[in-house]
């Protein structure tokens, strides 16, 4: 491990977490914000993505004929894609994929790629300093469009990845000096090193546009390193799978050694790229799979979300991830959580389970499985993870996700896997001792079961299909169905009789 850390430390300047104060600067003092009276020479290149296959056309500042030549339409909204730090000085493949997804999904939209590769292809701390220059370049472009084309800034959407997210913030704060406000900024896993813990003036923040959203996909520190910023930086901050781990992007020491051997200095980047870039692909997914929009839910942290506590949509506690997010400005940043699959389309369906166990005298290990049947299909057997033993009278809450929409819930099959040793022992006792056949062995007594579907907010209460259905023995499956009012009344009466 020590050898690995030395290799990574030597190879990648990005993770030299030097004192960020030396790179601070007042973003407000870069441009007075008055109407421009003299040309400004940008260090970034702005390429308008055209309708033809992956072609771009360069728009040059203060040269109006380039707007017309490239087909800029001032009646359409404008999205500007801003890439991040560059190790190899090459434009990454996701950029054209995102541009194409925006055009194919929205049609009437101007898509511009802000190319700052000449400033991004440096050691990471230098690239961080250069982000302020690029933010200034973009602010100048937008002022020019407003002055020359009367293009409203409310129709501008900056989409920035990694360092590009903070560039978006710097562009917004540049414009704010003259009282102008961008329409929207989307930060795709905003960069963490040299930005984590900084004040709102030194990074992307909700003050930088009328509406700001961010997707955090690689915030977990590994070997002391964190690629994406963990703190909230937007009106709505999304943390898929907790924001630190993404399915299909496992980071193991052996992976890093293999990538270092194969790619050299680029090896570590190849390993972490999957989770860091997942934010981009989640956003692309929201454009390409409109019928599979991901819902995310406000929660204090991922631990509480995993327990199923946070599937409430009242008072803007949930929102849609990606392009079609509901744009609600909030006083404080909202942290939203959700689970995904390992590949596109990433959407999963979330269910909160609440199961009550009654008068459990013996402590039982929580080895349970459940399967659901709905009006549109059924699920496979799903393991239930409970963090504590079942005893006494207790209600457990937990989260389950499904790949597909099974419709309105109708039937639930519940199985206590139990201890196989315990089950075999009781079976032997009943075989050897005849009078034991009529007595009960180890069992669970199930009380109230409710299931809430996050996506529809519908709650379903389940009752045993038979009167004996509430008693479950090891390795035994019991069927529960949607409760009718009469069934619920009968069930409550049986419970009272049992308690008496």
Q: Please, where are the H alpha helices in 226-266? A: 253-263
**Residue from 83, 259, 276, 281 carrying the catalytic annotation:** 276
Task: Give me the tens of pLDDT residue by residue for the chain, a chain 500 residues long.
Answer: 444 333 334 344 343 333 333 333 444 444 433 445 557 899 999 999 987 556 889 999 999 999 999 999 999 999 999 999 998 889 999 999 999 999 999 989 999 999 999 999 999 999 999 999 999 999 999 999 999 999 999 999 999 999 999 999 999 999 999 899 999 999 999 999 999 999 999 999 999 999 999 999 999 765 555 799 999 999 999 999 999 889 998 754 445 545 545 555 454 565 578 999 999 999 999 999 999 999 999 999 999 999 899 999 999 999 999 999 999 887 789 999 999 999 999 999 999 999 988 866 666 666 789 999 999 999 999 988 666 667 667 888 999 999 999 999 999 998 887 655 455 554 555 565 555 444 555 678 888 899 999 999 999 999 998 877 678 888 788 899 999 864 555 555 555 555 45
233/320 same-domain check:
yes
- Ligand-binding annotation for 208, yes or no, is yes
Reduced to 3 states, what is the DSSP secondary structure of residue 425? Answer: helix
Q: What pLDDT does 40 receive?
A: 83
Place of tokens 């996506």: 455
pLDDT at residue 411, as a whole number? 95
Active site residue 189: yes
Q: Count the neighbouring beta carbons within 10 Å of the beta carbon of residue 367.
A: 17
Q: Exposed, middle or buried, 224 (CB in 10 Å: 0-12/13-18/19+)?
A: exposed
Sign of CA dihedral 173, 174, 179, 182: negative
- The reply to whether 180 and 154 lie within a common domain is yes
**Do 262 and 377 share a domain, yes or no?**
no
| 342: annotated active-site residue | no
Domain boundary among 338, 361, 395: 338
Q: Are strands 211-215 and 184-188 parallel, antiparallel or unpaired?
A: parallel
Q: Give the pLDDT score at 26.
A: 43
Q: Is residue 343 part of a domain?
A: no
Q: What is the pLDDT of residue 365?
A: 67
Residues 67 and 165 reside in one and the same domain: yes
Instruction: Give the active site residue among 162, 168, 205, 244.
Output: 162
429 and 483 belong to one structural domain: yes
Q: Are 371 and 325 in contact (CB under 8 A)?
A: no
Q: Does 304 share its domain with 371?
A: no
56-59, strands of its sheet edge to edge: 56-59, 45-49, 110-115, 78-82, 156-161, 184-188, 211-215, 236-240, 334-338, 295-298, 318-320
In a 10 Å sphere around its CB, with 0-12 CB exposed, 13-18 middle and 19+ buried, how is residue 339 labelled? buried
Instruction: For residue 325, give the CATH number of its domain.
Output: 3.40.50.1820
- Pull the structure tokens for residue 321: 């991830």
Distance, CA of 474 to CA of 458 (rounded, Å)? 31
Q: For residue 75, give both structure tokens.
A: 């009646």
DSSP string, 269-337: HHHHHHHHHHHHHHHHHHHH-GGGPPEEEE-S-HHHHHTT-----GGG-EEE-STT------SSPEEEE
Structure tokens at 267: 């090896």
Q: Is residue 199 part of a domain?
A: yes
Supply 380's token pair: 């496979």
Does 47 fall in a domain?
yes
162 counts as catalytic: yes
pLDDT of 270 reads 59
pLDDT number for residue 11: 43
Domain housing 127:
2-338
Q: What are phi and psi of 11, to 5 degrees?
A: -85, -35
Between CA 33 and CA 36 the distance in angstroms is 8
Count the Cβ atoms, other than its own, within 10 Å of residue 183. 18
Q: Give the C-alpha distances (Å, rounded to integers) separating 234 from 165, 172, 293, 330, 434.
A: 11, 13, 20, 9, 68
Instruction: Say how far apart CA 443 and CA 54 lie, in whole Å.
Output: 64
CA distance linking residue 288 with residue 290, whole number of Å: 6
Q: How many domains does the chain have?
A: 2
Residue from 142, 89, 97 nearest 115 by CA: 89
Give residue 361's pLDDT.
60
Same domain, 173 and 213: yes
Indicate whether 252 and 166 sit together in one domain. yes
Q: DSSP letter at 191?
A: B
Is 312 annotated for ligand binding?
Answer: no
Report pLDDT for 130.
98
């Amino acid at each position: 491990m020590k050898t690995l850390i030395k290799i990574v430390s030597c190879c990648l300047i990005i993770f030299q977490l030097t004192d960020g104060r030396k790179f601070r600067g007042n973003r407000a003092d870069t441009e007075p914000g008055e109407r421009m009276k003299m040309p400004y020479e940008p260090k970034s290149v702005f390429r308008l993505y055209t309708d033809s296959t992956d072609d771009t056309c360069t728009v040059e500042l203060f040269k109006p004929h380039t707007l017309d030549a490239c087909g800029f339409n001032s009646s359409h909204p404008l999205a500007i894609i801003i890439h991040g730090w560059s190790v190899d000085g090459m434009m990454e493949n996701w950029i054209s994929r995102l541009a194409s997804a925006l055009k194919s999904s929205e049609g009437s939209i101007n898509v511009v790629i802000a190319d700052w590769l000449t400033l991004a292809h440096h050691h990471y701390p230098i690239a961080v300093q250069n982000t302020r220059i690029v933010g200034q370049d973009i602010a100048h472009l937008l002022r020019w469009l407003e002055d020359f084309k009367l293009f409203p800034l409310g129709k501008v959407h900056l989409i920035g990845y990694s360092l590009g997210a903070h560039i978006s913030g710097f562009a917004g704060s540049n414009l704010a000096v003259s009282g102008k406000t961008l329409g929207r900024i989307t930060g795709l896993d905003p960069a963490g090193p040299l930005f984590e813990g900084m004040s709102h003036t030194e990074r992307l923040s909700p003050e930088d546009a009328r509406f700001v959203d961010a997707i955090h996909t690689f915030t977990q520190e590994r070997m002391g390193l964190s690629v994406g910023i963990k703190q909230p930086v937007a009106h709505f901050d999304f943390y898929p799978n907790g924001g630190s781990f993404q399915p299909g992007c496992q980071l193991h020491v052996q992976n890093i050694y293999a990538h270092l051997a194969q790619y050299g200095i680029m090896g570590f980047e190849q390993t972490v790229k999957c989770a860091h870039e997942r934010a981009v692909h989640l956003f692309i997914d929201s454009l390409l799979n409109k019928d599979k929009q991901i819902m995310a839910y406000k929660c204090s942290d991922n631990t509480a979300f995993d327990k199923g506590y946070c599937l409430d949509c009242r008072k803007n506690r949930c929102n849609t991830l990606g392009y079609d997010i509901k744009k609600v400005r909030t006083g404080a940043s909202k942290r939203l959580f959700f689970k995904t699959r390992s590949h596109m389309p990433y959407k999963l369906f979330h269910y909160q389970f609440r199961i009550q166990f009654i008068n459990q005298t013996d402590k039982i290990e929580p080895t349970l499985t459940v399967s659901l049947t709905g009006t549109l299909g059924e699920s496979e057997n799903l393991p239930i993870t409970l963090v504590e033993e079942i005893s006494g009278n207790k209600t457990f809450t937990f989260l389950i996700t499904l790949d597909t929409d099974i419709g309105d819930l109708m039937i639930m099959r519940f199985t206590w896997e139990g201890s196989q040793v315990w089950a075999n022992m009781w079976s032997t006792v009943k075989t050897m001792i005849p009078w034991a056949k009529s007595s009960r062995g180890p069992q669970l007594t199930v009380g109230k079961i409710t299931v809430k579907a996050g996506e529809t907010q519908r709650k379903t209460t389940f009752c045993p299909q038979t009167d004996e259905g509430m008693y479950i023995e090891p390795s035994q499956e019991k069927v529960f169905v949607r409760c009718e009012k009469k069934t619920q009344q009968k069930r409550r009466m049986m419970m009272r009789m049992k308690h008496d």
